[in-house]
């Protein structure tokens, strides 16, 4: 009788409740490096441009439960398939959820946070299952002019990227203040938290090296093999 009740209860349990928890924290381990092939499409003042590049995240020494030092690099960047753009690298500090909390870049920390936010995955601070949500806010601006960036994430469903099991995570990104960054995204991560691919779309995106003109932009990235 007891066995029958247990089996009946399992059958009645919603599928999401049976989903194993995913501990994604390994992707933030020190001394790790991940490379993605990325395509960026922008609308700059009514003119469409497409850029292809390699993006690399190198995490340096540190404790994953504390701010981590890292380098973000754009290399082999081609604009509209022909114009080569010099490689760029920025030293950043990641908070415990992988968001960019600070940078000593000459462009300024807030500018780098805004520029790289659409291509930065925000991790949960504990293992998650399908249906779970988490949030992270990075301070930007000043006390008088708050431009903080908030990212809301949701473990949407189980999926596959090729033959690799993946957790599909959806994202909403908002920033306070005038000319604020706003966007949505979808990320696919493996069981260690490594981002296998992503698709994000934002408005009011800015690249300091390109003159700080606000653009609508979309990004597609896939892990380099």
Q: DSSP assignment of 68-83, as one string?
A: EEEEEEEEEEEETTTE
Domain that holds residue 77: 20-223
Q: What is the pLDDT of residues 33-73, one digit of tens each?
A: 999 999 999 988 788 999 999 999 999 976 656 789 999 99
Between strands 182-189 and 195-205, the pairing is antiparallel
- Would you say residue 36 lies in a domain? yes
In total, how many domains does the chain have?
A: 1
Q: Is 193 a residue whose pLDDT tops 70? A: yes
- Would you say residue 135 lies in a domain? yes
Q: Is 1 a residue whose pLDDT tops 90? A: no
- Would you say residue 193 lies in a domain? yes
Mention every residue, 6+ apart, whose C-beta is less than 8 A from residue 100.
Answer: 72, 92, 93, 94, 112, 113, 116, 117, 120, 138
In the structure encoding, which two tokens stand for residue 19, read together?
């989903």
What are the Cα distances from residue 215, in Å, to 6, 62, 64, 83, 206?
A: 56, 35, 33, 19, 6
- Would you say residue 196 lies in a domain? yes
- Would you say residue 2 lies in a domain? no
Indicate which CATH number applies to the domain containing 140: 2.40.128
In the structure encoding, which two tokens stand for residue 10, read together?
């399992």
């Amino acid at each position: 009788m007891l066995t029958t009740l247990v089996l009946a209860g399992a059958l009645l349990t919603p599928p999401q409740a049976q989903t194993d928890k995913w501990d994604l924290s390994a992707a933030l381990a020190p001394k790790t490096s991940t490379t993605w092939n990325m395509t960026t499409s922008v609308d700059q003042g009514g003119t469409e441009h497409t850029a292809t590049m390699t993006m690399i995240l190198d995490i340096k020494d540190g404790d994953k439960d504390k701010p981590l030092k890292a380098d973000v690099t754009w290399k082999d960047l081609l604009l509209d398939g022909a114009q080569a753009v010099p490689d760029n690298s920025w030293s950043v500090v990641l908070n415990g959820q992988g968001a960019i909390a600070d940078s000593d870049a000459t462009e300024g920390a807030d500018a780098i946070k805004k520029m790289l936010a659409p291509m930065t995955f925000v991790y949960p601070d504990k293992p998650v299952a399908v249906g779970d949500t988490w949030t992270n806010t990075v301070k930007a601006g000043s006390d008088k002019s708050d431009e903080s960036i908030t990212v809301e994430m949701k473990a949407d469903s189980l999926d596959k990227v090729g033959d690799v099991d993946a957790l599909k995570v959806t994202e909403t990104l908002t920033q306070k203040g005038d000319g604020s960054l706003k966007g949505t995204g979808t990320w696919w991560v493996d069981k260690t938290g490594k981002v296998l691919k992503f698709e994000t779309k934002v408005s009011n995106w800015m690249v300091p090296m390109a003159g700080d003109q606000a653009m609508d932009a979309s990004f597609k990235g896939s892990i380099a093999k």
